Amino acid sequence: MFEQHTEYPEAVSFFAPFFFPKILQDEYRLKDYICSEEFAQFRRRYGDVHAVDAIFDRAMSLCWGNVYEALLLCCVCTMEHRNFGIRMPVVGPLLWVPLTSEFPEEFHERVHALPTRLYADTPPDSNGDRDKLQHFFGSAFLSYTFESPDVSERIGEFIEWGEDRFVVEGALDERDSRANRQGQRFGLWLLSDDSVRPSRFLRPPVSHRGGAQ
């Protein structure tokens, strides 16, 4: 386990238990960790794939070993969209749905701190593959919750289908689907072994008979 990060604003630490459910406190603390210098140093020392392990490990520590909550927290805390827009044919953008309550500067600080270099084929730009984390942890959460990859697979396919047709700037992406499948395997493995970590499943694509796995 990674060393627990315990330095939080004193007022927040004192008053939070009286006003906020524990899961909201844990969300704040995990986002705080992602933005911390401790996490930045870990990324520099061990690399981005193992930094994903650090996020999950911190979530498990905050949740007292509750895998269900830890996966949900990881999904929420690695979201790299503030909102998404629903578009309709002819009408265009119709509705914008918020995905976070963070202030803009808090959101940008956290997103900038997320791991980006996850695969051998990660795009070279600064965004890299940080958007794949929400796919990975979201699929892991669904697979773990329903104890089956089927629900996660169907929801993932529906989201990809709907994103291409109805989400502003959305598009089908096989690399998103790959992250979904990896997350499904991670979630199912956690059912029997909660010591496994994401890096075991975030593998670079392996060439096999001319195709990527």
pLDDT digits 0-9 by tens, 118-154: 998 999 988 899 999 998 999 999 899 988 877 767 7
**Contacts with 20 (C-beta within 8 Å, 6 or more apart), sequence order:** 28
208 bridge partner residues: 211
Full-model pTM: 0.75
Taking residue 107's Cβ as centre, other Cβ atoms within 10 Å add up to 18
**Contacts with 63 (C-beta within 8 Å, 6 or more apart), sequence order:** 26, 69, 70, 73
Phi, psi of 94 (to 5 degrees): -120, -35
pLDDT at 37 over 90: yes
Q: Are strands 92-98 and 83-88 parallel, antiparallel or unpaired?
A: antiparallel
Hey, what are 199's tokens? Answer: 């890096």
Q: For tokens 């044919």, what's the residue?
A: 89
pLDDT at 148: 80
Please tell me the distance from the alpha carbon of residue 4 to that of residue 63, in angstroms, as a whole number. 12
CB 142 within 8 A of CB 187: yes
pLDDT at 206: 46
User: One-letter amino acid identity for 118?
Assistant: L
Please tell me the distance from the alpha carbon of residue 48 to that of residue 110, in angstroms, as a whole number. 15
Helix (H, G, I), strand (E, B) or coil at 45: helix
Please tell me the distance from the alpha carbon of residue 3 to that of residue 7, in angstroms, as a whole number. 12
- H/E stretch holding 60: helix 48-62
pLDDT digits (tens, 9 = 90+) for 4-24: 444 445 555 555 555 568 888
